[in-house]
Amino acid sequence: MPGTDANLFPVFRRFSMSGNIDSNWNPFALAGLVVLTAVVLVGGFILLQTVQAYKVLMTVFAVVWGLLSTALLFFVLNAVAENMPRKIRSVSVAVVFAGPAVILLFWALVIPTLRTLRLSFMGAYAREYVGFSNYEFAFTDPIMLESFRNNLLWMIFGTSFCVIMGLVIAVLADKSSREKVFKSLIFMPMAISFVGAGVIWKFMYAYKGEGINVTEIGLLNAIVVAFGGEAQAWLLIPFWNNFFLIAIMIWLQTGYAMVIMSSAIKAIPGEINEAARVDGANSFIIFSRITVPYIMPTIITVTTTILIFSLKLFDIVRVMTGGNFGTNVIANEFYLRQFTYGNSGQASAIAIILLVVIVPVLLYNLKEFRRRRVLK
Amino acid sequence: MKKPEKGKRNPLVAVVLIIIVLVWTIPTLGIFITSFRESSDIYGSGWWTVLPHKDNVKTGEIELPADTDPNKPVEIEGRTATFEQWRMGVEFEDGRMLRWFGNKRSRKIEVFEEKWVGFGANLTLKNYRDVLGGGMVEHTDSEGNIISRQGSNFADAVLNSIAVSIPATVIPILIAAFAAYAFAWMEFPGRRPLFIIVVALLVVPLQIALIPILRDYTGWGLNGTFVGMWLAHTGFGLPLAIYLLYNYISTLPRDIFESAYLDGATPFVTFVRLVLPLSIPALASFAIFQFLWVWNDYLVALVFLGDQNRVVTSALAAMVGEKGQDWHLLTSGAFMSMIIPLAVFFGLQRFFVRGLMAGSVKG
């Protein structure tokens, strides 16, 4: 392995294998344990599938069984590995430790990526190859083009608002004596699901319609009416409705940006700020010349994370408009193509496009990983 | 120049912050308050009316004589106006407002006066009872009509969410901790390339995996099962879990492993007795992160659970689709779906923030 410091602790790595320790498992007991584990795993699954009554009891059972099975599986696999011949024992133990994770990663992410790539060149029912026609659809279909435009809006306006608001709040909160309370409250939406946030904002945007003596129960329309304006069905106004959806994401994600940047601001040495103040710099100059440059790496990380997030955004649009009225986004079209139109080829092509857009970030992560030599 | 920290108590900063915090909390407050209001109130007035304010309150009714002709201007209490004007409401100098109720034949006038209201709002738990239950539920709209609906059975959804979220949080942690320990302190073939794959997978969007996994599940009969959800969430959560736990476990001091070895402990015993207890801060950070992620997830539940075993997010989303204007059910349902994550969040915020910092790259 060139360029690694993997050999730094060769002695210990050899130590840590169980090479020299003999397992005290009796082969019959071990075989019995393996059978018992299989019974627990299969029996629990069948029980869970067949019993529909006793909802509370079955929930408890599902949780206990799921956790117990995982622990039991590791215990048994390890016992088997420790009973292996000495030569391969140490590697066996390592395989038992890392194996389940590696298998799951390959099954859940690595292989599906390749399978999706293959599906993206096939027809709606994955029966025949259709060349690039799914990609042609993805880049020419009017709905797809609209989705691309909307995703661009989400990425540009959603991300920049989150980051700027987050930064401003972080700086202001830093000057306040009630910092913790303010930050907690702005951070709180992070604990709310996008579906929940959808309901919260649907209620904010609620529109009762025209008619005599109608009382608007949505706060936004009530405010508009109170100032003499006319109530609107905000989510039905073409083009601008996108911004009413983006506002929800800003509400949800600003707290994240704020918390991360706030801790970066706290890491700025106090002497720098004081020196600047002694030199007569005002708050704004300190902000633009010291704070922002100092936490630039953090700003970039936060921006990238929210960019990726807004690219994959699905729940908000799905719940608020279902992608109608000109608010569709790529991830929602992916869902519609697969589950409404039943076209796995087109859906796969869309998923691959999502991945390709993210590849630069992926490569950057790998570069950073190499540079920082995380793996000893 | 005595105190360079003078900016610490800038009142303008406090005012701006308070405004921002209000904007951020009022939407949630709105559904919270609404969920406790009587359904007839919800549809008749905004939720903010529970706060004390001045409003037009109905103080009486006037029955017009049966021979009143609504097609001609009508005189009431010394004022003459057409039906349309009465219908819109006519204001009197003494502050009263008279308004025709209903259509022309009703011949009924309602009297409104400006008064301070909102000191004693009607609060109820009925909305929660209705949304949690599964049978038929009734509510009253602002005109007094009684409307019947099939209940949403949200209690089952909460139980399903618990059955999905707890194992889908603990299982990946356990698997990832074993793997992180192996990556940090063991030699095995493919260690480095495998870890590079883990890093690469951190940002991969999970949309890429949904269709193939769905095909597997259809073949294996795992669609709509909790096991299917656990496996999928475990797979999607593992890259971040391994990465975070590796960063922590690899910094544990080497001496403890050496002395454990000298005491004759196997790697398994070392892991259970030493690594897990020592890694509790990192485990807790990821646990909260993953729990909130799984509890709040909608896409994975929608794809793999479908309509059987609905979790809170999909139950709530289905409610938005089926009963989009039933705010008494939607608000209480939304709040039911938020209670547990909010409790976890406020209780363990410190760990959550730490987890966020360490892994702001989740895919």
A220-270, pLDDT tens digit by residue? Answer: 988 888 888 888 888 888 889 999 999 999 999 999 899 889 888 888 888
Could you tell me if B4 and A277 are in contact, meaning their C-beta atoms sit under 8 angstroms apart?
A: yes
Length of chain B: 363
Could you tell me if A65 and B230 are in contact, meaning their C-beta atoms sit under 8 angstroms apart?
A: no
Report the run of H or E that residue A220 belongs to, with start and end: helix A219-226
B283 Cα to chain A: minimum distance (Å): 16
- At position A56, the amino acid (one-letter code) is V
End-to-end CA distance of chain B: 50
Of A59, A74, A105, the CB nearest to B198: A105
- Local structure of B63: helix, strand or coil: strand
Interface test with B, best of A7, A42, A73, A193 (most B CBs within 10 A): A193
What span, in angstroms and rounded, lies between the C-alpha atoms of A165 and A280? 27
Q: Give me the residues of B, 15-34, that contact A with CB < 8 A.
A: 16-17, 20-21, 24-28, 30-31, 34
Domain limits of chain B? 154-358
Structure tokens given for A296: 């630039």
pLDDT, tens digit (0-9, with 9 covering 90-100), for A117-134 = 999 999 888 888 988 999
Q: What angle do CA B265, B267, B270 make, to 5 degrees?
A: 60
Q: Give me the residues of B, 124-163, that contact A with CB < 8 A.
A: 142, 155-156, 159-160, 162-163
Has residue A124 been placed in a domain?
A: no
Cβ pair B27:A6 closer than 8 A: no
Q: Give me the residues of B, 36-55, that contact A with CB < 8 A.
A: 42-48
The pLDDT, as a whole number, for residue B9 is 65
For A247, which residue in chain B has the nearest alpha carbon? B24
What span, in angstroms and rounded, lies between the C-alpha atoms of A183 and B350? 12
How many whole angstroms from its chain centre is CA B70?
51
Q: Are residues A222 and A298 in the same domain?
A: yes
Cβ pair A187:B349 closer than 8 A: yes
Answer yes or no: is pLDDT of B137 > 50: yes
The pLDDT, as a whole number, for residue A4 is 37
Report the run of H or E that residue A343 belongs to, with start and end: none
Q: Are residues A33 and A159 in the same domain?
A: no
Return the bridge partners of B139, or none.
B147
Cβ pair A274:B209 closer than 8 A: no
Has residue A74 been placed in a domain?
A: yes
Structure tokens given for A267: 């890491």
Q: How confident is the model at residue A97 (pLDDT cuts 50, 70, 90)?
A: very high
Which residues touch B246 (CB under 8 Å, ≥6 apart)?
Answer: A374, B180, B183, B184, B195
Interface ipTM above 0.95: no
How many A/B residue pairs have CB atoms within 8 Å?
390
Phi–psi pair at A217, nearest 5 degrees: -105, -5
Interface test with B, best of A155, A182, A195 (most B CBs within 10 A): A195
Answer yes or no: is pLDDT of B23 > 50: yes
**For the residues A206-216, what does the mean pLDDT come to?**
74
Closest listed residue to residue B125, CA positions, set B318, B339, B316, B336? B336
Block residue for tokens 């859940």: A108
What span, in angstroms and rounded, lies between the C-alpha atoms of A199 and B275? 43
Report the run of H or E that residue B74 belongs to, with start and end: strand B74-76
Report the run of H or E that residue B253 belongs to, with start and end: none
Q: Are residues A97 and A174 in the same domain?
A: no
Mean pLDDT (chain A) is 85
Cβ neighbours of B186 in A, within 8 Å:
13, 16-17, 90, 93-94, 97-98
Gyration radius of chain B over CA positions = 30
Cβ pair A56:B159 closer than 8 A: yes
Pick from A80, A113, A146: which residue ends a domain? A113
Cβ pair B205:A355 closer than 8 A: yes
What span, in angstroms and rounded, lies between the C-alpha atoms of B351 and B269? 27
Torsion, CA B209, CA B212, CA B214, CA B220, rounded to 10: -130
Q: Are residues A103 and A203 in the same domain?
A: no
Closest listed residue to residue A264, CA positions, set A224, A238, A298? A298
What span, in angstroms and rounded, lies between the C-alpha atoms of A1 and B297? 40
Has residue A155 been placed in a domain?
A: yes
Answer yes or no: is pLDDT of A99 > 70: yes
Structure tokens given for B252: 């544990």
Q: Are residues A145 and A103 in the same domain?
A: no
Q: Are residues A85 and A197 in the same domain?
A: no
Q: Are residues A264 and A323 in the same domain?
A: yes
Cβ pair B232:A331 closer than 8 A: no
Percentage of residues in chain B having pLDDT higher than 70 = 93
Interface test with A, best of B211, B297, B340, B350 (most A CBs within 10 A): B211
Has residue A125 been placed in a domain?
A: no
Cβ neighbours of B323 in A, within 8 Å:
none
Q: Are residues A198 and A285 in the same domain?
A: yes
CATH label of the domain that carries residue A143: 1.10.3720.10
Answer yes or no: is pLDDT of A12 > 50: no
Cβ pair B330:A199 closer than 8 A: yes
Could you tell me if A113 and A355 are in contact, meaning their C-beta atoms sit under 8 angstroms apart?
A: yes
The pLDDT, as a whole number, for residue A316 is 92
Cβ pair B186:A94 closer than 8 A: yes
The pLDDT, as a whole number, for residue B120 is 62
The pLDDT, as a whole number, for residue A23 is 54
**Fold of the B154-358 domain:** MetI-like fold (1.10.3720)
How many whole angstroms from its chain centre is CA B192?
40
Q: Are residues A147 and A56 in the same domain?
A: no
Of B45, B175, B225, the CB nearest to A100: B175
The pLDDT, as a whole number, for residue B361 is 43
Has residue A172 been placed in a domain?
A: yes
Could you tell me if B315 and B158 are in contact, meaning their C-beta atoms sit under 8 angstroms apart?
A: no
B172 Cα to chain A: minimum distance (Å): 8
Cβ pair A98:B357 closer than 8 A: no
Q: Are residues A162 and A107 in the same domain?
A: no
Of A63, A74, A104, the CB nearest to B163: A63
Answer yes or no: is pLDDT of B363 > 60: no
Domain range for residue A141?
136-372
Has residue A127 been placed in a domain?
A: no
